[in-house]
Amino acid sequence: MNDDIMSNEVRKGFLKITILRIVKAQPSHGYEIIQEIGKMTHHNWTPSPGSVYPALEFLEKKGYIQGVESDRKKVYTITAKGENALNQMYEKRKQWMQEMEIFFGDILEEKYDDQ
């Protein structure tokens, strides 16, 4: 698997949580969300509308966000259910970070042991 494919798959996995974080901070429409992700990543990743809008639709159907038409744009805000999900994700992130530290720590130790 080449690096670009791997990076894209990892980013897709973080897209929904990133959207929740953005609309929690400030109600936003799709284009604003795309631009904010670009700014957050120093323009290393600007997701396409083809990935953001289906994610928004998914999050809205699940009840994590709510969209309201405003000036011919759909502006999204986080719901109580979305805030709860985001808090759960933050807790899970702590566990993942510990697991990643263990995994990558072992890899780094092996690299230095071989030298």
State which amino acid sits at residue 104. F
Total structural domains within the chain: 1
Question: How does pLDDT run across 32-83, given as a tens digit for each residue?
Answer: 999 999 999 899 889 999 999 999 999 999 999 999 998 899 999 999 999 9
Q: Is the pLDDT of residue 2 over 90?
A: no
Can you give the pLDDT at residue 111? 54
Query: In Å, how far are 27, 30, 33, 76 from 70, measured between CA atoms?
Result: 11, 12, 15, 10
Bridge partner list, 8 = none
- The DSSP letter of residue 43 is T
**CATH assignment at residue 65:** 1.10.10.10
- Tokens 């929740």 belong to 20
Range of the domain at 102: 3-114
Which stretches does DSSP call E strand in the chain?
Answer: 28-29, 65-70, 73-78
Model-level pTM? Answer: 0.77
